[in-house]
Amino acid sequence: MKQTRTEILPGVHLNHIQTDKFKIAVMSISMLAQLDRENASMNALIPFVLRRGTAHYGDIEKISNRFDELYCANIDPIVRRVGEIQCIGLMASYPEDKYLPEGEAVAQDTIDLLCEMLINPATRGGLLIKNYVESERKKLADIIRSRINEKGSYAITRCIEEMCCFEDYSVGRFGSAEDCEAIRYKKLTQQYHTLLETAPIEIFYCGSQPSKTIAHWLKDALCTMPRGEINYEIGTDVRMNSVEDEPRIYTETLDVTQGRLVIGFRLGECMEDPDKAALSMFNTIYGAGVTSKLFVNVREKLQLCYYASSSADSHKGLLFATAGIDFDRFEEAKNEMLHQLDEIRNGNITDEEMAYARKGICSDLASMQDSQTAMESYTISNILDGWVVTPEEYMELVQDVTKEDVMAIANSVVCDMIYFLRGEETEDSENTVCIKEEEPSC
Amino acid sequence: MLITKKEYKSVGEYLYSGELENGLKIFVIPKQGYNSQYAVFGTHYGGAMRRFAIDGETIDTPAGVAHFLEHKMFDMPDGSNALTTLSENGADANAFTSSDLTCYHFSCTEHFEENLRILLQFVSTPYYTPETVQKEQGIIAQEIQMGDDSPGRQVYYDLLSLLYAHHPIKDAVVGTVESIAEITDQTLYHCHRVFYAPSNMVLCVEGDVNPERVFEIANEVLGSERKSIPQADFGEKESDLPLAPYKERQMPVGMPEFLIGEKISNGAKDTEEPDGKSILLQRLTAGLALRLLAGASSSFYTRLYADGVLTRDFDVEIDYAVGTATMIIGGQSPDPEKVLQELLSEVDRIREKGFNKAYFSRTRKAMIGGQLRGLEDFDGTCVSLLADAFDGFCTLDVIELLPQISRQACEQWIADTFKPEKLAMAVIRPLTEE
Does B433 lie at the interface with A, CB-CB under 8 angstroms? yes
Q: Which of B140, B151, B370 has the CB atom closest to A149's CB atom?
A: B151
Q: Considering only alpha carbons, which residue of chain A is nearest residue B256?
A: A146
SS3 B184: coil
Average pLDDT, integer, range A233-247: 94
**Which residues in chain B have their CB less than 8 angstroms from residue A69's CB?**
362, 365
Q: Is the pLDDT of residue B274 over 90?
A: no
Does A285 have pLDDT greater than 80?
yes
If asked whether residues A188 and A271 sit together in one domain, one would say: no
The pLDDT tens digits for A357-380 are 999 999 999 999 999 999 999 999
Enumerate the residues of chain A whose CB falls inside 8 A of the CB of residue B82.
none
Chain A: residue nearest B372 by CA?
A23
pLDDT at A174 over 70: yes
For A144, the domain range is 3-221
H-state helical runs in B65-210: 65-72, 82-88, 112-123, 130-148, 151-163, 177-181, 185-195
**A55 and A198 share a domain?**
yes
For the residues B244-269, what does the mean pLDDT come to? 89
Q: Is A231 part of a structural domain of the chain?
A: no
| Amino acid letter, residue B88 | E
Residue B40: name the closest of B28, B57, B52, B23 by CA.
B28
A32 and A144 in a common domain: yes
Same domain, A312 and A210: no
Average pLDDT, chain A: 93
- Clarify whether residues A27 and A98 are in a common domain: yes
In which band, very low, low, confident or very high, does the pLDDT at B294 lie, cut at 50, 70 and 90?
Answer: very high
Of A206, A221, A236, which closes a domain? A221
How far, in Å, CA of A201 to CA of A3, rounded?
Answer: 17
- 8 A C-beta contact, residue B398 and residue B385: no
- A175 shares a domain with A115: yes
Answer yes or no: are the C-beta atoms of A406 and A223 closer than 8 Å. no
Q: Considering the domain boundaries, does residue A227 fall inside one?
A: no
CB contact under 8 A, B142 and A305: yes
Q: Which residue of A has its CA nearest to B88?
A: A356
Give the residue on B whose Cα is nearest the Cα of A153.
B150
pLDDT for position B277: 84
pLDDT of residue A441: 34
Kindly state whether residues A205 and A148 are assigned to the same domain. Answer: yes
Q: Domain B4-232 sits in which CATH superfamily?
A: Metalloenzyme, LuxS/M16 peptidase-like (3.30.830.10)
| Per-residue DSSP letter, A299 | I
Question: Cα angle at B148 between B146 and B154, to 5 degrees?
Answer: 130
Q: Mutual orientation of helices B357-374 and B407-417 as an angle, nearest 10°? A: 90
Of the given ranges (B91-100, B140-149, B380-389), which has the lowest mean pLDDT?
Answer: B140-149
What's the pLDDT tens digit per position in A29-87? 999 999 999 999 999 999 999 999 999 999 999 999 999 999 999 999 999 999 999 99
A289 chain-B contacts, CB cut-off 8 A: 87, 92
B107 touches chain A (CB under 8 A): yes
Mean pLDDT along residues A331-346: 96
Residues A195 and A280 grouped into a single domain: no
pLDDT, residue A183, reads: 97
A441, part of any domain? no
Three-state secondary structure readout of B380-423: HHHHHHHHHHHCCCCHHHHHHHHHHCCHHHHHHHHHHHCCHHHC
Question: Which has more pLDDT, B54 or B294?
Answer: B294
**CA-CA distance, B290 to B297, in Å (whole number)?**
12
Mean pLDDT, range B255-266, rounded to an integer: 92
pLDDT at A430: 40
Q: Rounded to whole angstroms, how far apart are CA atoms B106 and B17?
A: 20
Please give the C-alpha separations between residue B67 and each of A307, B34, B62, in angstroms, as whole numbers: 17, 32, 11
The residues spanned by each domain of chain B are 4-232, 246-430
pLDDT of residue A190: 98
Same fold, B4-232 and B246-430: yes
Instruction: Give the predicted TM-score (pTM) of the model.
Output: 0.90
| Strand A127-128 versus strand A305-313 pairing type | unpaired
**Residues of B involved in catalysis:** 70
- Structural contact between residues B62 and B182, judged by C-beta atoms closer than 8 angstroms: yes
Q: Are the C-beta atoms of B191 and B175 separated by less than 8 Å?
A: no
Query: Which of B106, B142, B180 is the best residue to mutate to test the A interface, defined by the most A CB atoms within 10 Å of its own CB?
Result: B142
Residues A288 and A209 both lie in one domain: no
**What average pLDDT does range A400-407 have in this prediction?**
98
Flag if A70 and B369 touch (Cβ within 8 Å).
yes
Q: Are strands B25-30 and B201-207 parallel, antiparallel or unpaired?
A: parallel
- Residue A337's alpha-carbon distances to A286, A294, A308, A356, A421, in angstroms, are 9, 7, 9, 20, 16
Residue-level pLDDT at A428: 47
Number of domains in chain A: 2
A238 within domain boundaries: no
Class of domain B246-430: alpha beta
If 0-12 CB within 10 Å is exposed, 13-18 middle and 19+ buried, where does residue A56 land?
middle
Is the CB of A72 less than 8 angstroms away from the CB of B33?
A: no
CB proximity B376 to A under 8 Å: yes
pLDDT of residue A107: 98
Chain B 299-318, residues with CB within 8 Å of chain A CB atoms: 299, 302-303, 305-308, 311-313
Within-domain flag for A360: yes
Q: Chain-centre distance of CA A106, in angstroms?
A: 29
Here the CATH number for the domain that contains residue A402 is: 3.30.830.10
pLDDT in tens, B104-158: 999 999 999 999 999 999 999 999 999 999 989 988 988 898 888 899 999 999 9
| Residue partners of B178: CB distance under 8 A and separation at least 6 | none
Chain B residues with beta carbon closer than 8 angstroms to that of A374: none
A186 with A261, same domain? Answer: no
